[in-house]
């Protein structure tokens, strides 16, 4: 991706370091990270922390223009990432309820999802949203949807047996089942173009609210650490419940607004695929993992609760802005 604009002293120092390719300036990043961690009131909403963490994670995905590929495993950058991750994970564990399931994990996941208050953005898109508001939602979604499935793929080699097999089956569907044109990231890119938006990764990096980065970072935090494999599985189970942004309602909204076939098709195809994926993720994946590794049951529920909380906050925040007559994005779309 192209380097975005910084959102505070830490991301500014980090971007300067990455662009100049001089690790000697890492001291500035360390100092900025220490300063930020000392003063931040909420690691989940801190724009500077979340963007910095996102940039460090991006080195493990497609990378950032002009940053050498070898810096993916630069120890000093990994150390900076770890400091931010500690604060992030602690804030997450404090923010969401977590407990041992008192019955089987698939039922506990269903209860967790049913008890959570869903954001009403799907209904708003279905009945009330304008074309401009839909385009803003698509721009917000672009950060994670153009990388769809990648973060949860880190978890594959950390699983065994039935759980691993189920995760591969889920990811295969999300990656198009051998047909590149059916990859969810590809159909989302078509959806963006159909809505007159830019489908390059990170095109709206400077537009989206910080909650978009928090949502993406949760997946990378869980995916990139073996000890958090249970949370990654739980996150995927909640993510595939389509709880936060019901795709069927969104498809109806796109039709109401007369948006093109490529826009509607993305949501229609998800509505078809997601019902099967939800069952697979909840039962065949999360249920199997809890049976194989009972000690991970609490973390499976933690990951699901984190997804519901963070994505719920993202889309509720977008809806609140729309209801107040405000844009969801920090700057207007072209
Ligand atoms: Fe998908």
Q: Where are the domains of the chain?
A: 9-95, 105-323
The answer to whether the beta carbons of residues 203 and 327 sit under 8 Å apart is no
Residue 287 Cα to ligand 1 midpoint, Å, equals: 21
pLDDT of 244 reads 63
pLDDT of residue 25 exceeding 80: no
Residue 182 Cα to ligand 1 midpoint, Å, equals: 10
Residue 17 Cα to ligand 1 midpoint, Å, equals: 34
Residue 38 Cα to ligand 1 midpoint, Å, equals: 38
pLDDT of 116 reads 86
Residue 139 Cα to ligand 1 midpoint, Å, equals: 16
Residue 68 Cα to ligand 1 midpoint, Å, equals: 30
Tokens matching residue 225: 């650490």
pLDDT of residue 100 exceeding 90: no
Residue 148 Cα to ligand 1 midpoint, Å, equals: 6
Quote the percentage of the chain above a pLDDT of 90.
78
Residue 145 Cα to ligand 1 midpoint, Å, equals: 7
Distances (CA, A) of 139 to 11, 25, 246: 22, 33, 17
Residues lining ion ligand 1 (Cβ < 5 A) are 184
Residue 163 Cα to ligand 1 midpoint, Å, equals: 19
Q: What is the pLDDT of residues 154-167, one digit of tens each?
A: 999 999 999 999 99
pLDDT of residue 243 exceeding 90: no
Residue 184 Cα to ligand 1 midpoint, Å, equals: 5
pLDDT of 248 reads 87
Residue 82 Cα to ligand 1 midpoint, Å, equals: 29
The pair phi, psi for residue 79, each rounded to 5°, is: -65, -40
Q: What is the pLDDT of residues 72-89, one digit of tens each?
A: 999 889 989 999 999 999
Residue 83 Cα to ligand 1 midpoint, Å, equals: 31
Residue 216 Cα to ligand 1 midpoint, Å, equals: 14
Number of Cβ within a 10 Å radius of residue 293: 17
Residue 270 Cα to ligand 1 midpoint, Å, equals: 6
Number of Cβ within a 10 Å radius of residue 157: 10
pLDDT of residue 37 exceeding 70: yes
The arithmetic mean of pLDDT across residues 78-107, rounded, is 90
Residue 53 Cα to ligand 1 midpoint, Å, equals: 24
Quote the percentage of the chain above a pLDDT of 70.
99
Distances (CA, A) of 47 to 75, 139, 176: 24, 18, 33
Residue 314 Cα to ligand 1 midpoint, Å, equals: 18
Number of Cβ within a 10 Å radius of residue 225: 17
Across the chain, mean pLDDT equals 93
pLDDT of 102 reads 75
pLDDT of residue 23 exceeding 90: no
pLDDT of 3 reads 96
Number of Cβ within a 10 Å radius of residue 82: 11
The arithmetic mean of pLDDT across residues 164-173, rounded, is 97
The arithmetic mean of pLDDT across residues 252-281, rounded, is 89
pLDDT of 276 reads 81
Residue 301 Cα to ligand 1 midpoint, Å, equals: 21
Cβ-Cβ contacts under 8 Å for 226 (sequence gap 6 or more): 158
Residue 19 Cα to ligand 1 midpoint, Å, equals: 33
What SS3 class is residue 61? coil
Confidence at 207, pLDDT banded by 50, 70, 90: very high
Burial (CB count within 10 angstroms: exposed 0-12, middle 13-18, buried 19+), residue 137: buried
pLDDT of residue 205 exceeding 90: yes
Task: Give the number of residues written for the chain.
Answer: 334
pLDDT of 41 reads 86
Burial (CB count within 10 angstroms: exposed 0-12, middle 13-18, buried 19+), residue 206: middle
Residue 102 Cα to ligand 1 midpoint, Å, equals: 31
Residue 18 Cα to ligand 1 midpoint, Å, equals: 31
Confidence at 246, pLDDT banded by 50, 70, 90: confident
The arithmetic mean of pLDDT across residues 178-193, rounded, is 96
275 versus 109: which is more confidently predicted?
109
The arithmetic mean of pLDDT across residues 198-202, rounded, is 97
pLDDT of 148 reads 94
Its CATH class, for the domain covering 105-323, is mainly alpha
21 versus 165: which is more confidently predicted?
165
The arithmetic mean of pLDDT across residues 304-332, rounded, is 96
């Amino acid at each position: 991706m192209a380097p975005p604009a910084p959102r505070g002293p830490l991301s500014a120092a980090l971007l300067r370091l990455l662009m100049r390719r001089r690790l000697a300036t890492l001291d500035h990043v360390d100092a900025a990270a220490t300063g930020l961690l000392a003063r931040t009131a909420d690691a989940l909403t801190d724009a500077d922390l979340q963007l910095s963490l996102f940039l460090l994670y991006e080195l493990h995905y497609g990378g950032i223009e002009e940053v050498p590929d070898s810096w993916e495993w630069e120890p000093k950058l990994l150390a900076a990432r770890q400091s931010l991750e500690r604060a992030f994970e602690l804030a997450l564990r404090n923010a969401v309820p977590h407990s041992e399931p008192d019955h089987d994990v698939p039922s506990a996941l269903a209860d967790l999802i049913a008890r959570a208050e869903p954001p009403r953005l799907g209904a708003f898109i279905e009945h009330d949203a304008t074309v401009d508001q839909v385009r803003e939602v698509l721009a917000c979604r672009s950060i994670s949807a153009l990388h769809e499935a990648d973060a949860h793929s880190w978890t594959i080699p950390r699983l065994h047996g039935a759980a691993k097999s189920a995760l591969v089956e889920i990811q295969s569907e999300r990656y198009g089942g051998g047909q590149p044109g059916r990859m969810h990231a590809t159909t989302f890119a078509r959806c963006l173009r159909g809505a007159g938006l830019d489908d390059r990764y990170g095109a709206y990096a400077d537009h989206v609210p910080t909650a978009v980065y928090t949502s993406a970072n949760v997946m990378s935090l869980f995916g990139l650490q073996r000890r958090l494999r249970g949370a990654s599985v739980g996150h995927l189970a909640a993510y595939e419940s389509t709880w936060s942004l019901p795709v069927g309602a969104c498809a109806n909204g796109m039709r109401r607004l007369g948006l093109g076939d490529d826009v509607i098709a993305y949501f229609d195809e998800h509505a078809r695929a997601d019902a099967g994926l939800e069952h697979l993720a909840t039962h065949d994946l999360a249920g199997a993992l809890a049976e194989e590794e009972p000690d991970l049951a609490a973390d499976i529920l933690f990951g699901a609760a984190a997804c519901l909380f963070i994505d719920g906050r993202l889309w509720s925040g977008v809806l609140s802005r729309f209801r107040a007559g405000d844009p969801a994005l920090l700057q207007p779309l072209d």
